[in-house]
Amino acid sequence: MKVALAGAGAFGEKHLEGLQKIDGVEVVSLVGRTLAKTQAVADKFGVGHVTENLEDTLALDEVDAVILCTPTQMHASQAIACMKAGKHVQVEIPLADNWADAQAVLKAQQETGLVCMVGHTRRFNPSHQWVHKRIKAGDLSIQQMDVQTYFFRRSNMNAKGEPRSWTDHLLWHHAAHTVDLFQYQTGEKVVVAHAVEGPHHPELGIAMDMSIQLKTEGGKICTLSLSFNNDGPLGTFFRYICDNGTYLARYDDLVTGRDEVIDVTKVDVSMNGIELQDREFIAAIREGRQPNSSVADVLACYEVLHQLEEGMRA
């Protein structure tokens, strides 16, 4: 299978590393904002075609699928362009930064019938998979999720600490991880959603702190705190409070509420959530099915984000 990747930054390299571990997959084109930096990444991973324009890549007949790791504001339009060009597409989280664009991507997927997957990595991390399998087996029922998403990011920097050309967003990007995971793990639709935000940064123009409360139709609740002002520890930390135990997920680590370590190394074929995400994308294309975290699967998340945004505006 011939794959192209757009966005040769921090997350783009994570996908390139994951794709190298999947049999029968070749990355044949790399799209980046600056040619010299993109060429350097292409040389590192042995990619033959390099361009600054996604259109050049979509014109290549050999390309079967595209992975988009581009700025958030481009996700929806580029995903639609990929499908209109006959290419399967995986777009990194978030699918869009507004509700109308999210719906437009779903419409394009339904019209083309192609695979359109969104990079909701938390569904694939072994720590969260372990919890999900226990829920599916009937061993656990979530009563509450308590989540903290904390960064120290007062300028436009990527995950590698390098400058980037666009501004990140607590609601439409970072909250999307938890809003989707909460509905995925509970299997229930969010019916109550409230949010408040702190002051906006004078230069970035975004809220630097946010608090979100969610409730499902079955009464399960989620409390999410987000900040770009937090000076360590950094990352997202999940507490699952269940009817039969409490579990804390810190990236790939999972412990009980009593700090007893749970071995999640055998949950899947890898401990790398991005690699597992890419494996699902490739498998869905090969098997002619829709993937876990398809655009249809995750659309409810973006409806909730829209409701939260509208509530804060009001």
Contact between 169 and 97 under an 8 Å Cβ cutoff? The reply is yes
Residues 280, 23: Cα–Cα separation, whole Å? 13
First-last CA distance in the chain: 48
- Range list of β-strands (E), 45-187: 49-51, 65-68, 88-92, 116-119, 142-150
Q: What pLDDT sits at residue 154?
A: 80
Q: What is the pLDDT of residue 166?
A: 55
Give the pLDDT confidence score for residue 142 in this predicted structure: 98
Burial of 141 (0-12, 13-18, 19+ CB in 10 A): middle
Here the contacts of 79-86 (C-beta below 8 Å, separation 24 or greater) are 79/105, 79/108, 79/116, 79/295, 80/104, 80/105, 80/108, 81/54, 81/55, 82/54, 82/58, 83/108, 83/109, 83/111, 83/112, 83/114, 83/116, 84/108, 84/112, 85/58, 85/59, 86/112, 86/114
pLDDT tens digit at each of 314 positions of the chain: 999 999 998 899 999 999 999 999 999 999 999 999 999 999 999 999 999 999 999 999 999 999 999 999 999 999 999 999 999 999 999 999 999 999 999 999 999 999 999 999 999 999 999 999 999 999 999 999 999 999 988 876 655 666 655 568 899 999 999 999 999 999 999 999 999 999 999 888 889 999 999 999 999 999 999 999 999 899 999 999 999 999 999 888 999 999 999 999 999 999 999 999 999 999 999 999 999 999 999 999 999 999 999 999 98
pLDDT at 2: 98
Please report, as a single letter, which amino acid is at residue 304.
V
**Structural domains for the chain:** 2-119+274-294 (3.40.50.720), 125-267 (3.30.360.10)
**What local confidence, expressed as pLDDT, does residue 119 receive?**
98
The pLDDT of residue 28:
98
CB 49 within 8 A of CB 26: no
pLDDT at residue number 252: 87
Which pLDDT belongs to residue 244? 95
